[in-house]
Structure 1
Amino acid sequence: MTSPSKNAAHYGLAWLALILATLAGLAWWWQIGRPVDLPDAPSARIACVSYAPFRKPGETPFNTHFVMTPERIDEDLHALSQRFDCVRTYSQGHGLAAVPAIAARYHMQVLMGIWLGSEVKENEKEIELGIATAKANPKTIRGVIVGNEVLLRGDLSPRRLTEYIRRVRAAVPTTIPVTYADVWQDWLRYPQMASVVDFITMHILPYWEDNPVAAIDAVHHVEDVYARMQHMFPGKQLMIGETGWPSAGRLRRSAEPSLVDEALYLRAFLRYAADVHMPYNVIETFDQPWKRAQEGTVGGYWGIFDTHAQPKFPMLGPVTEEPHWWLGWLAGAVCAVAFAMVGAWRRSWRGIRGWLALLLAGFAAGTSAAWQLRQMMFACEWWWQWLLSAVCLVGALVIATALARRIAGHMADHHDHSEPAQWWRFGALFALVLYDILLAFDGRYMDFPMGLFLLPCVAYGMFGLLTHELSMPSAEQRFLACIGPILAIAPVVQEAGMNKVTWLWLGLNLAIAVPILVAWRCHAVRLQPHEAQAADQ
């Protein structure tokens, strides 16, 4: 039998958890709605920016039959010429060979890309078309970039890549410099490539580094890399061919994708580039939804403009992460009322404490569900992704609501030990452990759906704190409760303990697992005297 003092402590912890969950929901939404003062950029104009026009639903460079119309390119470049002096392209296919001629109309220059991969025939088409385009537009093309991150992907050997570069160098006008673009680490890995190009084009993306760097420190990292490359290749002209910051996606160690951090990094980088008179190119013009399939949510949000060609943030003045932050509070208020209404149905308890518990639980659940809906707006592209996410979120809300009814009864001193069907908890555990497995073994590009799993995990954690299960948890639940927290440790280790989200994720695993493990131990202890008595008889 549990002592009264122990019960009082559990009730105190339950009230504390409810209050903290509510305050967390209030504070998180308020915080992302506050304007953040940032240093201004030296100018709203940017020297050069990566241009890929695949920003509308269904548009992707993987569709070999898709061709971007000259009218669409003209529309884009006319708008971009108001902010940018130059655009960088990555391939000649999909109608992009028309970019230099159209850019000339708006007095823009082009860093023209020739895409190289592992397919020889496709490489031949790209090179032939690239050479023809360069010859036709010698005054518009600032440089030809033969291959992008080919060595990083392992598509070609350095020897084969060198042959392609020399072939293009021999064919295009001598007034057009020729280069190759790759991450700065691969230039150090293959220093012989420097002798093949007219200038070095390196990518410095602090978010994607093996040791990611927070936005506030990212420009210092760029400075260090730039100095290292100058020391490694003295006398060789250097250009940063890609740098930027994502506005949405998963945290990598201390590198957080957010609108504020994107603005912070770009403004700081532009000041640095202006001070040292360094040639650079920012990635990228528009958000690219198709990249989510390769790089997760974060891949689709590197643009300075959104998919509707609207600027995502100003270059001067404060920046607000979420202007509609009050919708999170509204969702909390709506859910608080809904939880109270559901809790009032056939209730067997009385007292203000029960109502207060329902309102607090409902508000916390509403702000959490709103967080997940916001996440879905960034992450979901296809109808089936919306459907699957919506079904999971509704299921989580149903579990949270059902448990909130029982938690409210306990808070009102009505000791009802009934709980929802066991398969509800098994389903939540199974989904959580399945996601744990994906994060542990292939989680580089996966988001943490905190808003979704907060609902069942915290609700079952509080329910377990207030009750003592009458029956032994099933073997399946005991297994999942053991394996989940172990798997959840993997992301913490992989992120070197620097990612705050991985710790919260581990906390969710423990919240739902610990009550099961405690019940398992308690029932095992109760069975021992009976087993001993049976042995004596």
Structure 2
Amino acid sequence: MLPPSKNVAHYGLAWLTLVLTTLAGATWWWNVGRPVTLPDAPSDRIACVSYAPFRKPGETPFNQHYIITPERIDEDLRTLSQRFDCVRTYSQSNGLNAVPAIAARYHMQVLMGIWLGSVEKLNEQDVAMGIATANANPKVIRGIVVGNEVLLRGDLSPKRLIQYIQTVRAATPASIPVTYADVWERWLKYPQMAKYVDFITIHILPYWEDKPVRAIDAVKHVEDVYTHMKQVFPDKPLMIGETGWPSAGRLRRSAEPSIVDEALYLREFLRYAATVNMPYNVIETFDQPWKRALEGTVGGYWGIFDSNAHPKFPMRGPVTEDPRWWLGWLAGALGAVVFTIVGSVGRKWRGVRGWLALLMAGFAAGTSAAWQIRQMTFACAAPWEWVLSSVCLFAALCVAAVLARRIAAHLADHHDHSEPASWWRFCSLFGLVLYDILMAFDGRYLDFPMGLFLLPCVAYGVFGLLTHERSMPSAEQRFMACVGPLLAIAPVVAEVGMNKVAWLWLGLNLAISLPVLVAWRWHTVRLQAQQA
């Protein structure tokens, strides 16, 4: 028989939670390991691709003194020439003014960029270098892009931008067309810019749209935008200067960064581009680790090649998200063994139910920790990020393991009156609410660390189903239990309810907060009864 204080429904819900989290961990890892059949690209060759060689640790265009050597550029372009007919650059600094001369060796063209920002002195330097490079390599340069998303960033006024465009046009051969590149919405906002360019260069990035488009619908979105822009600017040639899909990072509504979705988008876009004979440029050649500082994890994973210059997916045949998916199951098995050992130390219960609870809790915790470690390989760049993430993950595993011991004892019908230290839950709540604040007020570029917070949140949620707290939760915990779920609603609203991860994040907040609120209510009612 169950002790009187135990609720049969709560016990059933606790078992259901353990089963579902175990199945979810196993299924997720199996799903990322299965080959996905996708439509083939018409060819391995791509017309043009953005080239930024800052793919190794510490390399960044923000360091004006860092120079990419001609030998490095030669190595890259020699490899790229096997698949690409053209590369697009974005600036003349950091040694990139050598790209056109080197590209000529491999019979490639260059859509040459001149970088413009808010610092006039640097702008003048890049313009002067761009003019000199164009005059020295007129047959190689397909076009000159004077400024990239300057109006989107608000670095220059349209009037000052036009002056730079006119300066470049007047000082370069008439055979080289001049353009400006920006997201398509900015061209609609500043249509007067079309008068000063030889062709219009628009960026269409379905993932970054104000209303993100999922990968399966993204090419249709590109087609609609391209058709609309041709109607708005019928007298100007139109080029898609940037389009692509990220392979890792934060879900935006239903737009999910993944290798499978990147392959799907690129293959379907190339099929579409071939049918309309459309000039285009794909972003980008290599993954750019430095972009994570600007755009979060997703910023570093737009490359067709990874940061080691290896192709991330083939252009034909099935695509697998993670060939090492079995490591997730291995982590789950290791977690089950560790939790079973931890749970067996000093145990006072008997029966298969306790062991089964430990095995399921351990497997679920192991697969969750493996997910978090996988996410850390994408998101962590600086050593301190690895240290902080690793310490937090270890602490979360310790909390989950200790709670799993008590959960197993209760499910084995042993009435364990012991409770975990209150400061463990305080720290878990504090970390969760702190991240809730960041997500609520500036969450555009932040990932959801589901694998990290799933461990304490679910563990405390299940533990709360099985026990009544003997003491009133502290005022700080009660406050955070109220505030956390309210803050977690913000990402759900911001993503108009379309982001499944935002809903799961709200669920984790509720899982750890509800036992606190229930205990608060129970002790309040009890105190009122005693006073009466």
Aligned to 1:535: none
Aligned to 2:9: 9
Q: How far 1:529 sits from its partner (Å)?
A: 2.0
Aligned to 1:130: 130
Aligned to 1:290: 290
The one-letter amino acid paired with 1:477 is: Q
Q: How does 1:25-44 map to 2 (within 5 A)?
A: 25-44=25-44
Q: Secondary structure of 1:320's partner? A: coil
Aligned to 2:98: 98
The whole-number CA distance in structure 2 between the counterparts of 1:418 and 1:460 is 14
**Contact 1:417/1:469, CA 8 A, preserved across alignment:** no
Q: Secondary structure of 2:317's partner? A: coil
Q: How far 1:17 sits from its partner (Å)?
A: 0.5
Q: What do residues 68-116 of structure 1 show as CA deviations (whole Å, max 9, x unaligned)?
A: 0000000000000001000000000000000000000000000000000
The one-letter amino acid paired with 1:112 is: M
Aligned to 2:325: 325
The one-letter amino acid paired with 1:397 is: L
The whole-number CA distance in structure 2 between the counterparts of 1:4 and 1:31 is 42
Aligned to 1:114: 114
The whole-number CA distance in structure 1 between the counterparts of 2:295 and 2:95 is 25
Q: How does 1:47-62 map to 2 (within 5 A)?
A: 47-62=47-62
**Contact 2:89/2:112, CA 8 A, preserved across alignment:** yes
Q: Secondary structure of 1:35's partner? A: coil
Is 1:275 paired with 2:275?
yes
Q: What do residues 138-191 of structure 1 show as CA deviations (whole Å, max 9, x unaligned)?
A: 000000000000000000000000010011111110000000000000000000
The one-letter amino acid paired with 1:79 is: T
The one-letter amino acid paired with 1:213 is: V
**Contact 1:179/1:198, CA 8 A, preserved across alignment:** yes
Aligned to 2:250: 250
Aligned to 1:232: 232
Q: How does 1:491-530 map to 2 (within 5 A)?
A: 491-530=491-530
Q: What do residues 296-355 of structure 1 show as CA deviations (whole Å, max 9, x unaligned)?
A: 000000000001101000000000000000000000000100000011101111111000
Cα root mean square deviation, aligned: 0.9
The whole-number CA distance in structure 2 between the counterparts of 1:399 and 1:366 is 13
The whole-number CA distance in structure 1 between the counterparts of 2:71 and 2:140 is 19
Q: Secondary structure of 1:36's partner? A: coil
Q: How far 1:6 sits from its partner (Å)?
A: 6.7
Aligned residues: 531
**Contact 1:203/1:243, CA 8 A, preserved across alignment:** yes
Q: Secondary structure of 2:116's partner? A: coil
**Contact 2:40/2:267, CA 8 A, preserved across alignment:** yes
Q: How far 1:235 sits from its partner (Å)?
A: 2.1
The whole-number CA distance in structure 2 between the counterparts of 1:191 and 1:415 is 73
Is 1:19 paired with 2:19?
yes
Aligned to 2:456: 456
Change (3 A) 1:5 1:420: closer
Aligned to 2:152: 152
**Contact 2:246/2:262, CA 8 A, preserved across alignment:** yes
Q: How does 1:188-267 map to 2 (within 5 A)?
A: 188-267=188-267
**Contact 1:111/1:144, CA 8 A, preserved across alignment:** yes
The whole-number CA distance in structure 2 between the counterparts of 1:6 and 1:211 is 48
The whole-number CA distance in structure 1 between the counterparts of 2:525 and 2:323 is 55
The whole-number CA distance in structure 1 between the counterparts of 2:38 and 2:5 is 51
The whole-number CA distance in structure 2 between the counterparts of 1:87 and 1:115 is 16
Change (3 A) 1:320 1:376: same
Q: What do residues 27-86 of structure 1 show as CA deviations (whole Å, max 9, x unaligned)?
A: 000000000000000001000000000000000001111000000000000000001000
**Contact 2:253/2:496, CA 8 A, preserved across alignment:** yes
**Contact 1:200/1:238, CA 8 A, preserved across alignment:** yes
Q: How far 1:4 sits from its partner (Å)?
A: 5.1
Change (3 A) 1:353 1:6: closer
**Contact 1:417/1:468, CA 8 A, preserved across alignment:** no
Greater Cα shift, 149-158 or 416-425: 416-425
Aligned to 2:87: 87
Q: Secondary structure of 2:7's partner? A: helix
The one-letter amino acid paired with 2:350 is: R
Q: How far 1:419 sits from its partner (Å)?
A: 1.7
Q: How far 1:5 sits from its partner (Å)?
A: 9.8
**Contact 2:43/2:315, CA 8 A, preserved across alignment:** yes
Q: How far 1:382 sits from its partner (Å)?
A: 1.2
The whole-number CA distance in structure 2 between the counterparts of 1:394 and 1:7 is 32
Aligned to 1:424: 424
The whole-number CA distance in structure 2 between the counterparts of 1:203 and 1:287 is 18
**Contact 2:6/2:466, CA 8 A, preserved across alignment:** no
TM superposition score normalised by structure 1 = 0.98
Is 1:413 paired with 2:406?
no
**Contact 1:295/1:445, CA 8 A, preserved across alignment:** yes
The whole-number CA distance in structure 2 between the counterparts of 1:415 and 1:164 is 78
Q: What do residues 254-311 of structure 1 show as CA deviations (whole Å, max 9, x unaligned)?
A: 0000000000000000000000000000000000000000000000000000011010
Greater Cα shift, 2-11 or 427-436: 2-11
Is 1:476 paired with 2:476?
yes
The one-letter amino acid paired with 2:51 is: Y
The whole-number CA distance in structure 2 between the counterparts of 1:37 and 1:529 is 64
Is 1:162 paired with 2:159?
no
The whole-number CA distance in structure 2 between the counterparts of 1:430 and 1:305 is 39
Q: Secondary structure of 2:40's partner? A: coil
The whole-number CA distance in structure 1 between the counterparts of 2:261 and 2:163 is 41
The whole-number CA distance in structure 2 between the counterparts of 1:275 and 1:430 is 55
**Contact 1:252/1:499, CA 8 A, preserved across alignment:** yes
The whole-number CA distance in structure 1 between the counterparts of 2:422 and 2:505 is 23
Is 1:346 paired with 2:326?
no
The one-letter amino acid paired with 1:530 is: Q
Q: Secondary structure of 1:472's partner? A: coil
Q: How far 1:531 sits from its partner (Å)?
A: 2.1
**Contact 1:32/1:320, CA 8 A, preserved across alignment:** yes
User: What 5-or-longer segments of structure 1 have no aligned partner?
Assistant: 533-537
**Contact 2:3/2:415, CA 8 A, preserved across alignment:** no
